Structure 1
Amino acid sequence: MANPPGAAAVTRVERLPRRGRPRWLTVLICAVVLLALLIAAADRGGVVFAQHEMAVQIKKEGFPTTPKVTIKGFPFLTQVVSRHFGDVRLEAGRITEGPLRITNLKVRARDVRVDSGFSSGTLGSVDGTAFVSFKDLASASDNPDLVLTAAGNNLVKAKMDLGITEATATATVTKQGNSIVVRTQSIEGFSRSDIGNDLDFTVPVKGLPMGLTFQSVTVSAAGVGLHVTGRNVKFSDS
């Protein structure tokens, strides 16, 4: 049976090979992707190196162990070229300052400038929290049997073993000068004259790493947070 008019032409069109992407374009796309991956890897590798070097030098500013340093921002390599970092996070633990042990310190540094070898620099501004657990705060008092728990609104519940019984008091936690001050407000089952000032104590907060200063105190479920700040904090390998 003869094909209808135009059938042969349709068949020829259907058999034409499909034109794919030019080879040079495929190679170019692969090269661009590979270059991007290499730049990203170099960027992240540079971050790891810079964080380590910065942490080693900052440790010398009053930290008992090397703090954890995290440099924020991408791309990182442009920050290296300018030696200017907009956002750097520092974290350290178990910092002993006099009778007080700081359980954990977390701060955010801005406007960080370093020299070409990361051996010295300046933290433009530092803001964060020094956390002190209730256990560590109680240990800093003169009463080894004192137990502290949260009572809300910057209040703590203080319990003390009196031998034949236990005294429980509600106390305020405030900042006075450079000290944390715990003062009894009410005592369950006893008069103030019975207990005196046995549940009251003051803990100095001074000599913080990097010259940080203590601004305020808040009570949380697990302890107290000290708002700490600093400006133009310098660090170096000397």
Structure 2
Amino acid sequence: MGKGLVVGLVALGLVGVGAYVADGFARDSAEDSAAVLLSQRLQVDGTPDVRIDGFPFFPQLLARSLDDVRVSARGVELEGVEVTDVVVDATDVSLDQPYQVGTLRLEATVPTSTVEQVVADRVPVDVAVDGGMLRASGEILGIPLSAGLVPRVVDGRLQVDVQDVTLGTGELRLEDLPGDVAERLVGIEVPLDGLPAGIVLEQAVVVPDGVRVTASGTDVDLERLP
């Protein structure tokens, strides 16, 4: 009886190992397939990394709903605006129609070069990170201009507000700038229209590479991705 018990335990252990390996293989295959699909569906820089959490995987597959999924990519283009260091965390991801996500959180960095391009469309300046804000530098009527820019989210839109302005050697109020310069420095919006429908921009913070934005949403329809 003792020997039979040992043999039985060994057999169960082998079955468990086999199930674990099969479960891991299925998970790896699903992650690879998802990465390929995302590369085909979105304009991604490099190959995205997909990680499906939760063990075991087979019950999630049978239920046609994934508990937790994390996708990261070096860069993604959102309707002409490229964002970098993209991380997406999603829960309750449906594998059947209608394809939906229970909750989705997205973080990405809008590079300084992108902000510079948007600001330069109004005023010809260079933009760089300056501590906890952005600094626009250029010339107006041949006089050196420096303006501190602070990003913020207004009604789900990313804007940069002018905090301080220096023209030449003197600090000015925005309304004291010559001509229509003040108007061109107010309400500068960085378009992020390529975000999935149902995802709302919530936060913007200056980081060494640009502006780190956070967006989230619930009951997101995956079929309405850009």
User: TM-score, normalized by length of structure 2?
Assistant: 0.74
CA RMSD of aligned residues (A): 3.2
User: Any conservation in 2 of the 1:99–1:140 contact (CA below 8 Å)?
Assistant: no
Q: Are 1:103 and 2:84 counterparts?
A: yes
The Cα of 1:101 is off from its aligned counterpart by 1.6
State the partner residue of 2:63.
Answer: 82
| SS of alignment partner, residue 54 of structure 2 | coil
Q: Does 202-211 or 157-166 show the bigger shift?
A: 157-166
State the partner residue of 1:206.
Answer: 193
| SS of alignment partner, residue 37 of structure 1 | helix
Counterpart amino acid of 2:103?
A: S
The one of 134, 154, 170 aligned to 1:156: 134
| SS of alignment partner, residue 208 of structure 2 | coil
User: Any conservation in 2 of the 1:131–1:223 contact (CA below 8 Å)?
Assistant: yes
| SS of alignment partner, residue 42 of structure 2 | coil
Decide whether aligned partners of structure 1 residues 95 and 209 sit closer, same or farther in structure 2, where only a CA change above 3 A counts: farther
User: Any conservation in 2 of the 1:150–1:223 contact (CA below 8 Å)?
Assistant: no
Decide whether aligned partners of structure 1 residues 107 and 144 sit closer, same or farther in structure 2, where only a CA change above 3 A counts: farther
Q: Deviations over 1:37-62 (max 9, x none)?
A: 211111111111222334444556x6
State the partner residue of 2:160.
Answer: 182
Residues in 2 aligned to 1:163 and 1:33: alpha-carbon distance in whole angstroms? 80
Q: Are 1:64 and 2:64 counterparts?
A: no
State the partner residue of 1:31.
Answer: 11
Decide whether aligned partners of structure 1 residues 88 and 202 sit closer, same or farther in structure 2, where only a CA change above 3 A counts: same
Q: Deviations over 1:106-160 (max 9, x none)?
A: 1211111213xxx8732122112122122332234326751220432xx323333
Q: Does 75-84 or 139-148 show the bigger shift?
A: 139-148
The Cα of 1:64 is off from its aligned counterpart by 1.1
Residues in 1 aligned to 2:61 and 2:118: alpha-carbon distance in whole angstroms? 43
Counterpart amino acid of 1:231?
A: T
Residues in 1 aligned to 2:136 and 2:117: alpha-carbon distance in whole angstroms? 13
Q: Does 208-217 or 159-168 show the bigger shift?
A: 159-168
Residues in 1 aligned to 2:14 and 2:24: alpha-carbon distance in whole angstroms? 15
Decide whether aligned partners of structure 1 residues 38 and 161 sit closer, same or farther in structure 2, where only a CA change above 3 A counts: farther
State the partner residue of 2:221.
Answer: 234
Residues in 2 aligned to 1:166 and 1:31: alpha-carbon distance in whole angstroms? 79
Decide whether aligned partners of structure 1 residues 178 and 205 sit closer, same or farther in structure 2, where only a CA change above 3 A counts: farther
Which one has the largest radius of gyration? 1
State the partner residue of 1:224.
Answer: 211
User: TM-score, normalized by length of structure 1?
Assistant: 0.71
Decide whether aligned partners of structure 1 residues 234 and 69 sit closer, same or farther in structure 2, where only a CA change above 3 A counts: farther
Residues in 2 aligned to 1:126 and 1:133: alpha-carbon distance in whole angstroms? 22
- Give the unaligned 5+ runs of structure 2: none
Determine what percentage of the aligned residue pairs are the same residue: 25
- Give the unaligned 5+ runs of structure 1: 1-20
